[in-house]
Structure 1
Amino acid sequence: MNSPQNRRRFLATLGLGTATLAGCMDALGSADSDENDGEPSGNETDEDENGSGNEDGNGNREIVAPAIEAGELVDDFEEIEWNPMYDHTTVSSDDECLVGESSMLVESESRDVAGVFRAFSEGQDFFGKDLSFAVRVESPLPARVVLDVRAPGASDRLVSARSIPGEFDGWLRVEGGYTGKRGEPNLGNVQELRIYVEPRGDAEGPIRFRIDDLRATERSDQGKVVLTFDDSVESQYTTALPMLEERGWSGVAAIIPDSLNQPGRLTINQCRKLRDAGWDVSAHPHTALPEMDSDERVEYLQNAHDYIANRISEDGARHYFAPYNRMDAASIADVREVFETSFTFGGQPNIAPPLDGHMLPRVNGHDADDIATLLDLTAEYCQVLTLMVHGVGDTESENSLNDVTEEDFEAVLDAIESRDLEVVTVSDLVDD
């Protein structure tokens, strides 16, 4: 079994609107403002539970998700070669790690931003490569983790901004899906990497996070888009299906099993017709996982998986879409037991195909203008952008379950097609 005015202005110079990140503002401004470069903690958790296993019984390196084996190891953080971006930040080696003997611990009393940078004495060649790393944000939550790739300097750079849910303090693999660009970055000559964390919303407290397992993997050969539709809305069959069929595309219906066959919702027969049209029909059960204990959660997830696998689609049943963007470390461990992939809101593209497969990021897909920059970057760097809507059609009527008009959704589809992006299902993505 297997989400200040000068910052907004700076974002605009990169072509990255604030709506793209669904409330996550300024993916570049905080780090750029300092160009001189100058709570449960989880400590009581045993090695297997926090993912720190280092060797198997034969002395070989044990790979525990979200660590990966693929690609080139850029930094294992056995020696700390990174420096604090700000005077208020400290950087140290820490034995709570995902792989090896240590990770990098970054701490600051600042409530605005804390981060680190590593300057390379010789430019690093990451041309045709994607960067990813494991991170564990202990506080504050929710937060945003930003990877800033300077290639070669601040005038030519790429950023990847990933949202971390408010309850999630476990290890997460951040796959460098780019959300902002300045100048003409040359990834064959990366002179500096920066990683920093910013609180989101009303998050409070000192900043404390760990980083481990920084790797570079081979890039895909074409950008992709996954179109996901939540909550079993009937217009996914009556409206979205024919719109996609006109272009030869398929989508992903993330259904609430208990909602099927109710007014305004998909019927099970319509789900089967979506399957026959090449769609994934996947699990989106609507109880927030952190509200359950582990035994109850696994049974709940297994029931949702089995309902879809037995009645609709074994392929689609492999994929889970978290409701309310709620996830914690214990919940994702249970999700891994039942599902092959899982999705939350994250506000960024992802590496294609995904390296880990869990807590993959999604982006709101209601407005073509809002996602234009992400589509451009997805196409240029051959990544995958997963878009999320609910229903397509009339959004004004009382009790309407639609959240995007047919006209606006058509504009989104036109924007995808104009960039020569391949539209795939989740199964297509992971089985490729």
Structure 2
Amino acid sequence: MSNTDQSEERDSNGTTRRSFLGGIGVSSGTLLFGTQSNVGLFSDLKSKRNRDTQILKRPSDSRTRWQYAGWMKDSFENLSEWDVVAGSMTADTSTSHVGDQAAKLSTSGKEVRIETSISSTNFSNYDVSIAAKLKESNADIEVRLCDSHGEYVVYRSPLRANDGWLQSNMGVSSETSDVDITDIQTIQVQFIAENEGIEGWVDNLRYHPKPDGAQCVLTFDDSTISHYEKAYPIMQEFGFSGFASLPTYYHENDAQLDMMSGVAETDQDPMTVDQMRELQRQGWEFGSEMKTHSQTADLSEEEVREEVRDSKQWLVENEFIGNVPAITYPYGSHDETVLDITAGYYGMGRIVDDTLNRATLTNPLHISGHSVYSDNISRTKELIDLAVKHNQTAVLNFHGLDEYGWQPGGEMSSSDFREVLEYLYNKGPSSIPTVSYSNWWNNLDQLHSNV
């Protein structure tokens, strides 16, 4: 049965709630180098290249595996059921994500919004996603689920103008206090930008089954010494493990990490390989933050390929790759070229954004992560609460602690780090368990299952 057929059969009904599976499936690989002889030199080199390619390259693009999961609500082939609230809407047959056309939304201001009425639907069991792309300006894509009294919950995902079409992983970002998600009667779709002038397209509005609960992934950027000296001991107190991403050049060359942001007061030493291995034995996972922590979207295609490929090469050779290689885009810097190249080497990727994710990822290379600093702890707690209430996935991201902090006005102290972990821990493992990327990846098929 196709997704469309399932949509027609299930859209107006509830859906069976899904449970998360337990267990971590972590494997590692190492590049094997054969002995060479003068007679078999060419054959051995060819065999080695084939092995390297098989180990480094992924067999498929994770962005396509689940992009049509869930149930189709609207393919925007007929716009007559949509009303324009702000800006303008036209049918555009020159581009689409599914079908023959998309809805083109535009405005000279900072917001363009459309809406449609639906029969009363209980969204306790549903999440939503939508495909979208932008022409020039960056913006957020939002889907608002509104009840009969005008109260609403907001699903949000960031977009860049050079991302191309993306089927979003949008998660809950905010809500009004009295929204009744058991009686949703209006769906609103909108682009919101900081600057005036928006031109974008939307398509493929879908419903997705919710799991039985929330989950949280704890991630650490740059793999600096403070993650081992400061964060690790506190994490052990709560029984938590994390995911650390690293710019592999600095580990490979035993060099200090230059954040290349213009704001670092001092360079930072990366963790040693031995320290990383200790964390790995305690359940931590490691992944790439490219090779040199560059603004990847500003690089040439070949430079991007080198950053992506070489970072994975180092991780594989040093046995830090698990069953799902994951990457973090430095500064959140990515575009369609970066995503296309990354898809050949990594299964999951994290951007930077202040929102949650649906557990049912439709684009595993575009996961939103909330960066936690001492000056936004209240927002971090709000997101944890929203995750628990709406069965969402919170990806909480940390940088250096104490004297290793580098973000002016947003440093993170060890005491504040402990406060966040205590808040998370006190929610209880049954309310919001901490999981690894591997957990999440291993559960995706069941989370998307219609059975």
Q: Which runs of 5+ in 2 are unaligned?
A: 1-61, 257-268, 444-451
- Identify if the C-alpha distance between structure 1 residues 176 and 325 changes in structure 2 by more than 3 Å, giving closer, same or farther: closer
Counterpart Cα distance in 1 of 2:270 and 2:412: 16
User: Deviation of residue 416 (structure 1)?
Assistant: 1.0
Q: Which runs of 5+ in 1 are unaligned?
A: 1-62
Structure with more relative contact order (C-alpha pairs < 8 Å, separation 6 or more): 2
Alignment of 1:160-171 (within 5 A): 160-165=155-160, 168-171=162-165
User: Deviation of residue 70 (structure 1)?
Assistant: 1.6
Match of 1:191 in 2: 185
Match of 2:438 in 1: 427
Query: Normalised by the size of structure 2, how large is the TM-score?
Result: 0.74
Alignment of 1:361-380 (within 5 A): 361-367=368-374, 368-380=377-389
Runs of 4 or more above 6 Å deviation: none
Question: Contact between 2:144 and 2:187, CA under 8 Å: does it hold in 1?
Answer: yes
Counterpart Cα distance in 1 of 2:239 and 2:218: 13
Q: Does 2:278 correspond to 1:273?
A: yes
Question: Contact between 1:306 and 1:317, CA under 8 Å: does it hold in 2?
Answer: no
Question: Contact between 2:66 and 2:361, CA under 8 Å: does it hold in 1?
Answer: no
1:282-328 Cα distance to aligned partner (Å, 9 max, x none): 10021222233323322321111121122032217710100122111
- Identify if the C-alpha distance between structure 1 residues 146 and 282 changes in structure 2 by more than 3 Å, giving closer, same or farther: same
| 181-190 vs 278-287, greater mean Cα deviation | 181-190
Q: Does 2:402 correspond to 1:393?
A: yes
Match of 1:240 in 2: 231
Give the letter aligned to residue 399 of structure 2: H
| 63-72 vs 233-242, greater mean Cα deviation | 63-72
Give the letter aligned to residue 113 of structure 1: E
- Identify if the C-alpha distance between structure 1 residues 304 and 395 changes in structure 2 by more than 3 Å, giving closer, same or farther: closer
Q: Does 2:216 correspond to 1:225?
A: yes
User: Deviation of residue 163 (structure 1)?
Assistant: 2.7
Match of 2:176 in 1: 182
Question: Contact between 2:97 and 2:203, CA under 8 Å: does it hold in 1?
Answer: yes
Counterpart Cα distance in 2 of 1:128 and 1:399: 39
User: Deviation of residue 417 (structure 1)?
Assistant: 1.5
Question: Contact between 2:63 and 2:343, CA under 8 Å: does it hold in 1?
Answer: no
Question: Contact between 1:71 and 1:216, CA under 8 Å: does it hold in 2?
Answer: yes
Counterpart Cα distance in 2 of 1:244 and 1:428: 18
Match of 2:85 in 1: 85
User: Deviation of residue 149 (structure 1)?
Assistant: 0.9
Residue from 407, 411, 416 that aligns with 1:408: 416
SS in 2 for 1:273: helix
Residue from 107, 114, 119 that aligns with 1:116: 114
1:50-109 Cα distance to aligned partner (Å, 9 max, x none): xxxxxxxxxxxxx974972321111111212312112x423324340111222111122x
Counterpart Cα distance in 2 of 1:139 and 1:100: 24
Residue from 382, 390, 404 that aligns with 2:391: 382
Match of 2:294 in 1: 287
Query: Normalised by the size of structure 1, how large is the TM-score?
Result: 0.77
Residue from 157, 171, 180 that aligns with 2:152: 157
Match of 1:132 in 2: 129
Question: Contact between 1:77 and 1:103, CA under 8 Å: does it hold in 2?
Answer: yes
Match of 1:5 in 2: none
- Identify if the C-alpha distance between structure 1 residues 404 and 64 changes in structure 2 by more than 3 Å, giving closer, same or farther: closer
- Identify if the C-alpha distance between structure 1 residues 197 and 299 changes in structure 2 by more than 3 Å, giving closer, same or farther: same
SS in 2 for 1:85: strand
Counterpart Cα distance in 1 of 2:420 and 2:136: 36
SS in 1 for 2:241: coil
Determine what percentage of the aligned residue pairs are the same residue.
20
Structure exhibiting the larger radius of gyration computed from Cα positions? 2
Give the letter aligned to residue 284 of structure 1: E
User: Deviation of residue 361 (structure 1)?
Assistant: 0.6
Q: Which has the higher helix share?
A: 2
| 168-177 vs 345-354, greater mean Cα deviation | 168-177
User: Deviation of residue 275 (structure 1)?
Assistant: 1.4
Counterpart Cα distance in 1 of 2:148 and 2:316: 49
Counterpart Cα distance in 1 of 2:153 and 2:230: 37
Question: Contact between 2:230 and 2:401, CA under 8 Å: does it hold in 1?
Answer: yes
Match of 1:43 in 2: none
| 255-264 vs 97-106, greater mean Cα deviation | 255-264
Match of 1:50 in 2: none
Question: Contact between 1:281 and 1:316, CA under 8 Å: does it hold in 2?
Answer: no
User: Deviation of residue 395 (structure 1)?
Assistant: 5.2
Counterpart Cα distance in 2 of 1:399 and 1:106: 36
Counterpart Cα distance in 1 of 2:178 and 2:250: 48
Question: Contact between 1:280 and 1:316, CA under 8 Å: does it hold in 2?
Answer: no
Question: Contact between 1:272 and 1:312, CA under 8 Å: does it hold in 2?
Answer: no
Question: Contact between 1:275 and 1:312, CA under 8 Å: does it hold in 2?
Answer: no
- Identify if the C-alpha distance between structure 1 residues 207 and 67 changes in structure 2 by more than 3 Å, giving closer, same or farther: farther
Counterpart Cα distance in 2 of 1:186 and 1:95: 38
Counterpart Cα distance in 2 of 1:212 and 1:360: 20
Question: Contact between 1:162 and 1:347, CA under 8 Å: does it hold in 2?
Answer: no
SS in 1 for 2:135: strand
SS in 2 for 1:101: coil
Alignment of 1:2-81 (within 5 A): 65=64, 68-80=67-79, 81=81
- Identify if the C-alpha distance between structure 1 residues 316 and 305 changes in structure 2 by more than 3 Å, giving closer, same or farther: farther
Question: Contact between 2:169 and 2:366, CA under 8 Å: does it hold in 1?
Answer: no
